[in-house]
Amino acid sequence: MEPLEVDIAGALNMSQHEAGNGISDQLLVARCQSDDWAAFDALVDRYQARVFGFVRRMVPSHEEAEDIAQEVFVRAFRNIYRYDGRASVAGWLFKIATNLCIDSRRKRSRRVAEVPLEVDGSPVVKVADPKGDPEPIVFAQQMEEVIASALDSLSERLKPVILLHDVEGLSYEEIANALGIPVGTVKSRLFLARERLQQALSEYMGGDTSHG
């Protein structure tokens, strides 16, 4: 049996969101550091969907994700003058988000075993279009739930690495900077996280990687 290829971003129907105004991140930050707060609004518009999407998959509830995502930009606003450009703006924001998510997880008195995956506050599982073939739709929804459950089961060491790399598209170096770990550790954790997800999919599919 060939190893499964886990397409996390595709399976969760995620996309990267950036404001298409042609202004670079670095220029926006430079304007913020010159007290142009309209530039900070543009930075928030560019990254708020990506930050929320990442946080939502790190914590068990939509409400908690909203609070943390908001706090990410509050902290970015307070520390904008300390940003020195050595890390990408995306990596800087995800570093703040990761630390907040880990802190929140550690503060919770108990771990929630399973949380239904939501997109924009609505459950992924929807009623299939009666005019179409429901089987592929149901199968895709089930796969989304399996992957989401597998992601939820990952430790706080593994989960941010695979989300930042496979979903957000950050480089090994950006992730290493965001998490404060060596590049080699990023690679090993990414390998382990993928192995866990592949195992979850193999178990779900009964060892058969084909469908239909």
Tokens describing residue 4: 């499964």
Whether residue 39 is predicted with pLDDT greater than 50 in this model: the reply is yes
Higher pLDDT among residues 80 and 123, named by residue: 80
- C-alpha to C-alpha distance for 201 and 191, rounded to whole angstroms: 15
What angle is formed at CA 47 by the lines to CA 42 and CA 50, rounded to 5 degrees? 160
Neighbours of 183 (CB within 10 A): 13
Distance CA 162, CA 187 (A): 10
Q: Does residue 104 have a pLDDT over 50?
A: yes
Sign of dihedral through CA atoms 186, 172, 50, 14?
Answer: negative
Please write the tens of the pLDDT for every residue from 151-194: 888 888 999 999 999 989 999 999 999 999 999 999 999 999 99
Q: Class assignment of domain 8-204? A: mainly alpha
* Type of residue found at 4: L
The confidence score (pLDDT) of residue 170 equals 93
Q: What is the pLDDT of residues 106-122, one digit of tens each?
A: 776 444 433 444 434 44
Paired residues of 123 in beta bridges: 118
What tokens were used for 167? 């979903």
Provide the CA 163 distance to its chain's centre, in angstroms. 4
The mean pLDDT value of the chain amounts to 78
